[in-house]
């Protein structure tokens, strides 16, 4: 008897614990339009449709997971069928119909899982029941969740019913992948796209749940959970429910980090400071300390990717954008680091970390990849300054290089190549990727203290052809001599060359060689020929390819058939050619057979 009572008590305790667990997941589920967080626009539209009597026969709710699609569908069904619904479209949530819809047990509101009822037979059963009048409510409502999982045949079977349903039947489709829903279904529905929920709204809602459950939670902890949820209210509630079971009555951000396996904001900022200062030893030491404290490597890598994202948007000037990796109290530090590092370097570091994150999913040595990524990022140079230097060199400014006529002391390659580093770069860092240019010394044995003028680079070769009328033939021949690819073969078909302007050179092709002309009249070929002509004449010249207005080039004359080759041949034991003698020695040839060529006098008889 006592054992039977014990079993009954244990069963009751288990039911009570299950009910307590579902309190956060189900009891706090939105019951009115105003309780759906972050979807005020859609809620207002549906309320207006009910108030004005403009309810459509089919709706499609799309959006990410956990943003309120199914909850909105239930509230909409309650507002349509609740006998006590007011003029603003707000259900009473006290009547039997509202309670049945909230628990998913109402006979007139059917919730169908599209993933498990996806076949054509399920849709046929639905079509057979559509014509049956509702039992006690005004409308018969079908809510199909994950509707994109239906088969093609099931969608086709649903088309006619969806387009012309009975007057008091409403369809509400919910999906996370609207791109998989056929266009024929989309065109028959009113579509509402549910957006992700902001961090502030999720934090506010979690604070309300914590107060209702009797827990004290730091705002920083709420913000951490909200950021981790990535815009999903359901994910945030699941994490928060786990946090309430994990922590005590007073929950701090440290409890959240221990639960999620993430590193505190200060630890991430410290590692990034070490990378900016190119202090590889400190960066690896901080990583070691974080892993020893229980931080999960995958979660830490996600934090690094998010931190680089925050640095990138900060460097771009979007200082009001939401932060994904750290709290808002770290925004001044992000501004400082972004200004020190530069946008180009931040983007390169983010690419390295993102590639590392992708590779870590397929290997067992994830820590080695993470450490390699940190070392590679610490070796990045100031890419913004390198871009400025390249732009100056292209513009002819020469950067900080001395002019050819001004002497200057010789500097070592290390001193000449290292730019000023406001971040305090150490001496053992890697040299820039652009190799330093060592000045030429006329006397190699001179001491370092003696200033030696830098020898200027050799001047460009003077023009070889004078640009004037009459030089066309010579210029054409010189251009052909400078070509080693098929362009020379095509340009050899030119019938004449003419100077038609101060800086204009025209190549005329016969009409029957228009294909060669079009092959030459390509941007890369034109640029190449203009460069060759500029080197020959010493000035920039535009090149054009035209079709000659003259008659078609004369056809090639038929050549007479070759004369028959005489069959007379002779054998030679030792030829006079020394090359043939070497061949005989190498290959062991004893005798040669000599046969006259067709055009030789011996062959002609």
Q: Give the domain CATH number at 41.
A: 3.40.50.300
Last residue of a domain, one of 195, 228, 250: 195
Which one-letter DSSP state was computed for residue 403? P
- pLDDT at position 515 is 82
| pLDDT per position as a tens digit, 377-422 | 998 876 656 666 666 676 655 444 433 333 333 333 333 334 444 4
Q: What distance in Å separates the CA atoms of residue 242 and residue 451, rounded to the nearest whole number?
A: 73
Last residue of a domain, one of 152, 171, 195: 195
- pLDDT at position 22 is 52
- pLDDT at position 63 is 93
Do the Cβ atoms of 277 and 423 come closer than 8 Å?
yes
Average pLDDT over residues 176-188: 93
Q: What distance in Å separates the CA atoms of residue 58 and residue 147, rounded to the nearest whole number?
A: 13
* CATH number of the domain bearing residue 516: 3.30.300.180
Q: What distance in Å separates the CA atoms of residue 169 and residue 460, rounded to the nearest whole number?
A: 85
With cut-offs at 50, 70 and 90, classify the pLDDT of residue 566: very low
Last residue of a domain, one of 357, 377, 397: 397
Pair (312, 237) in one structural domain: no
Pair (507, 523) in one structural domain: yes
Q: Residue 455 pLDDT > 70, yes or no?
A: no
Helix (H) or strand (E) holding 513: none
Residue 18, domain extent:
1-25
Average pLDDT over residues 67-88: 89
Domain assignment present for residue 450? The answer is no
Bigger pLDDT: 583 vs 462 = 583
- pLDDT at position 175 is 94
Number of domains forming the structure of the chain: 6
Pair (49, 69) in one structural domain: yes
Q: Residue 557 pLDDT > 60, yes or no?
A: no
Residue 272, both tokens: 């990034």
Helix (H) or strand (E) holding 106: none
% of the chain at pLDDT higher than 90 = 30
Do the Cβ atoms of 341 and 276 come closer than 8 Å?
yes
For 319, what's the count of Cα atoms within 13 Å in the CB-facing half-sphere? 11
With cut-offs at 50, 70 and 90, classify the pLDDT of residue 470: confident
Q: Which of 332, 375, 329 is closest to 352 using CA atoms? A: 375
Residue 203, both tokens: 């934090």
- pLDDT at position 90 is 86
Q: Which range among 488-497, 529-538, 584-593 shows the weakest confidence by mean pLDDT?
A: 584-593
Average pLDDT over residues 201-207: 91
Total-model pTM? 0.59
Residues in Cβ contact with 330 at an 8 Å cutoff, skipping those fewer than 6 apart: 265, 269, 323
- pLDDT at position 442 is 41
| pLDDT per position as a tens digit, 494-503 | 888 888 888 8
- pLDDT at position 457 is 45
Helix (H) or strand (E) holding 60: strand 58-63
Domain assignment present for residue 430? The answer is no
- pLDDT at position 85 is 83
- pLDDT at position 528 is 86
Q: Residue 16 pLDDT > 70, yes or no?
A: no
Q: Which of 175, 172, 210 is closest to 188 using CA atoms? A: 172
Q: Which range among 73-82, 103-112, 462-471 shows the weakest confidence by mean pLDDT?
A: 462-471
């Amino acid at each position: 008897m006592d054992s039977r009572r014990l079993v009954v008590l244990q069963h009751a305790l288990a039911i009570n614990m299950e009910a307590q667990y579902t309190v956060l997941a189900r009891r706090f589920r939105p019951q009115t339009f105003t309780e759906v967080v972050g979807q005020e626009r859609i809620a207002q539209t549906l309320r207006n449709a009910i108030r004005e009597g403009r309810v459509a026969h089919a709706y499609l709710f799309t959006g990410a997971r956990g943003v309120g699609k199914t909850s909105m569908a239930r509230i909409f069904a309650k507002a349509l069928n609740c006998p006590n619904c007011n003029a603003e479209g707000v259900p009473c949530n006290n009547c039997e119909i509202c309670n049945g819809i909230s628990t998913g047990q109402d006979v007139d509101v059917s919730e169908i899982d599209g993933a498990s009822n996806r076949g054509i037979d399920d849709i046929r059963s639905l079509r057979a029941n559509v014509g049956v009048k509702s039992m006690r409510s005004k409308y018969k409502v079908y809510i199909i969740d994950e509707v994109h999982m239906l088969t093609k045949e099931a969608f086709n079977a649903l088309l006619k019913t969806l387009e012309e349903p009975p007057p008091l039947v409403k369809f509400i489709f919910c999906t996370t992948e609207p791109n998989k829903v056929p266009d024929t279904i989309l065109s028959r529905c009113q579509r509402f796209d549910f957006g992700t929920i902001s961090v502030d709204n999720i934090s506010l809602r979690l604070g309300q749940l914590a107060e209702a459950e009797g827990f004290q939670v730091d705002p920083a902890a709420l913000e951490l959970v909200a950021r981790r949820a990535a815009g999903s209210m359901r994910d945030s509630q699941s994490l928060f429910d786990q946090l309430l079971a994990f922590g005590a009555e007073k929950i701090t951000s440290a409890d959240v980090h221990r639960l999620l396996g993430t590193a505190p904001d200060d630890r991430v900022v410290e590692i990034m400071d070490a990378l900016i200062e190119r202090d590889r030893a400190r960066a690896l030491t901080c990583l070691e300390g974080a892993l020893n404290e229980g931080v999960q490597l995958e979660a830490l890598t996600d934090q690094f990717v998010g931190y680089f994202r925050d640095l990138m948007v900060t460097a771009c000037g979007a200082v009001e954008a939401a932060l994904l990796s750290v709290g808002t109290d770290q925004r001044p530090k992000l501004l400082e680091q972004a200004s020190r590092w530069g946008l180009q370097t931040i983007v390169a570091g983010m690419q390295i970390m993102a590639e590392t994150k992708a590779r870590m999913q397929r290997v067992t040595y994830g820590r080695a990849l993470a450490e390699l990524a940190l070392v590679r990022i610490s070796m990045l140079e100031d890419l913004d300054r390198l871009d400025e230097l390249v732009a100056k060199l292209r513009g002819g400014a020469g950067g900080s290089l001395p002019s050819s006529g001004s002497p200057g002391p010789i500097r070592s390659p290390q001193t000449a190549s290292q730019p000023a580093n406001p971040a305090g770069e150490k001496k053992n860092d890697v040299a820039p990727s652009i190799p330093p240019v060592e000045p030429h010394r006329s006397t190699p044995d001179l001491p370092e203290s003696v200033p030696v003028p830098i020898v200027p680079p050799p001047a460009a070769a003077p023009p070889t052809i004078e640009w004037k009328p009459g030089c066309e033939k010579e210029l054409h021949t010189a251009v052909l001599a400078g070509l080693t690819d098929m362009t020379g073969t095509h340009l050899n078909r030119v019938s004449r060359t003419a100077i038609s302007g101060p800086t204009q050179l025209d190549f005329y092709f016969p009409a029957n060689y228009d294909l060669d002309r079009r092959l030459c009249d390509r941007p890369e070929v034109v640029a190449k020929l203009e460069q060759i002509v500029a080197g020959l004449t010493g000035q920039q010249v535009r090149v054009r390819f035209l079709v000659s207005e003259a008659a078609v080039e004369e056809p090639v004359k038929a050549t007479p058939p070759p004369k028959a080759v005489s069959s007379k041949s002779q054998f030679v034991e030792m030829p006079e050619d020394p090359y043939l003698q070497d061949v005989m020695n190498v290959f062991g040839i004893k005798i040669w057979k000599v046969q006259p060529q067709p055009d030789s006098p011996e062959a002609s008889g």
